[in-house]
Amino acid sequence: MPKYEVILTHNIVGLGGESDQVKVAAGYARNYLFPQGLAIPVTAANKRRLEVLRQRRGEREAHELNTMTELAKGISKLVCVLTVKTGEDGKMFGAVTSGMIADQLKTQFDISLDKKKIHLEHPIRALGEHEIELRLHQDVTSKLQLRVESSTPLPAPAAPSPAEARREEHPRTEKRGRRPETQTDKAGGGAAGAAERRPRAPRPEKGGRPDRALSTDKAPRAEKPAKSEKAA
């Protein structure tokens, strides 16, 4: 397909800016660029217009830079809210795209922004706060705060039953139990162990003497002296 060299009179994304000389398909030049006034053929007469086109391009680029700089300052203070559909578990159906963000900027703040200037490092598939990078100009970038919310209300947590509520309000105190047995007690050591090992004194019998009742061993009886043999 033959190529045709033209001089651009307007900025065309992906092709060039004013005063740029580019080669395009002949049919594209004849059927679109020339009728729309976006380009002119490369001729000696048209080359004289290059200086005018370059001056106009410089003015346009300076205006775009100032406009994007002011937009970056204002957009960094905004919070764009995007509502999406989710399931009962809170998971999103699909992902948030740059086109959806551009539409919300236009709807909420009347800001017309090309979706190609909205840079997403990865698809947004979760609710919550997100920071989006905006490449507004070759020399201007900004950050947009995006909050993704669900259009489906999440189910409210179940209320506790009256019995559970009473237990939470009046927690049951622990019952006082026996003192935990220590290793010393198990081995029979310590004061408690000694007290358990000491035998108890027998209780005194009724009518008896206390001192005799308390005595556990009887004193040995004295042997009677042997009778002397009768004298013969």
Which CATH number is 35's domain given?
A: 3.40.5.10
Task: State how far the Cα of 222 lies from the Cα of 71, in Å rounded to an integer.
Answer: 127
Provide the sign of the torsion angle of the four alpha carbons 99, 101, 106, 112, taken in this order.
negative
How much is the pLDDT for 214?
Answer: 45
How much is the pLDDT for 155?
Answer: 58
Indicate the residue among 150, 184, 204 that finishes a domain: 150
CATH number, domain containing residue 90: 3.10.430.100
Q: Are residues 84 and 146 in the same domain?
A: yes
Domain count, the chain: 2
Q: Are residues 77 and 44 in the same domain?
A: no
Q: Are residues 78 and 144 in the same domain?
A: yes
Q: Are residues 128 and 79 in the same domain?
A: yes
**Spatial contact of 8 and 39, defined as CB atoms under 8 Å apart:** yes
Q: Is residue 13 part of a domain?
A: yes
How much is the pLDDT for 176?
Answer: 55
pLDDT tens for the chain, residues 1 to 232: 678 899 999 989 889 988 899 999 999 999 999 999 999 999 888 888 888 899 999 999 999 999 999 999 999 999 999 999 888 777 888 899 999 999 999 999 999 999 999 999 888 999 999 999 999 998 999 999 999 998 876 555 555 666 665 666 655 555 555 555 555 555 555 544 444 555 555 555 555 554 444 444 555 565 555 554 444 3
Collect contacts of 70-78 with beta carbons under 8 A, ≥24 apart.
Answer: 71/111, 71/136, 71/142, 72/134, 72/136, 72/140, 72/141, 72/142, 73/142, 75/105, 75/111, 75/134, 75/142, 75/144, 76/142, 76/143, 76/144, 78/109, 78/144, 78/145
User: Percent of the chain scored above 90 by pLDDT?
Assistant: 46
The number of helix segments (H) and strand segments (E) in the chain equals 9, 7
Q: Is residue 110 part of a domain?
A: yes
Indicate the residue among 107, 127, 150 that finishes a domain: 150
Indicate the residue among 121, 150, 179 that finishes a domain: 150
Three-point CA angle 116, 25, 18, nearest 5°: 55
Domain ranges, residue 143: 72-150
Q: Is residue 80 part of a domain?
A: yes
